[in-house]
Each structure stands twice: as structure tokens, then as C-alpha cells.
Amino acid sequence: MTSLVVEQVSSISKRQRVATHTHIKGLGLDKDGRATTSAAGWVGQEQAREACSLVVDMIKQKKMAGRALLMTGAPGTGKTALALGVAQELGTKVRNSSTATMKLRR
């Protein structure tokens, strides 16, 4: 009986890691602050993007206090993408955390 040898062959192609939501380049708004149908990596979610633009305007005008913005919703509704869009509109990096991974202490 012949023995079969199985070896793992690594790929010769270059490995590249792509981060989530790298296609998002802002909120995709026109000059009047209205969301366009598809822009800056977005397709849809016009109402959510327009609401985020209000927050961005308030932060830029220093009418909003605090250093955090809490977004809630069901999984897969675009919270992370919206947070990245807001951060890019403000020109800052966003620090993202999820309550599912956060330990709350009393």
C-alpha cells in the first residue's frame, strides 16, 4: 500500500490585508448638506448620512460638547461606516468600540 503525503503549500501571491469599510471616504454630501444617492463609497442611507452631517456641523461650530458619539442599532445597519464617515468629515481618526466586546463594571 502506498502512503499519501499531504503538504500545505503557501500561496506565492502577495498577501494583503484589507480593513473593513475602506471604501468610505466621507458622508457623500453635496454643497447643501444633502446626501447624494451614491458618493464617497456610499449607496443609499441618505437620511442617516444627512443626520450625521448635522452632528458634524455642530461639532465644527463647537455647539456640541463631549468627545464621544453613541450610535445604536441592530447589527449590519451601518453604524461603523457612518462613524468612519463622520470622522473623515471632521479630519480626525475615529476610535471605535463595541459594547458586545466591552466589559461594564458596576
Q: Where are the domains of the chain?
A: 22-65+73-93
Mean pLDDT across the stretch 54-65?
86
Supply the pTM of this predicted model. 0.66
- Which carries the bigger pLDDT value, residue 84 or residue 2? 84
Q: What is the pLDDT of residue 12?
A: 64
pLDDT digits (tens, 9 = 90+) for 4-52: 777 776 666 666 655 666 777 788 888 888 888 777 777 778 888 889 8
- Which carries the bigger pLDDT value, residue 50 or residue 91? 50
Give the mean pLDDT of the chain: 76
Give the integer Cα–Cα distance in Å for 51 and 34: 10
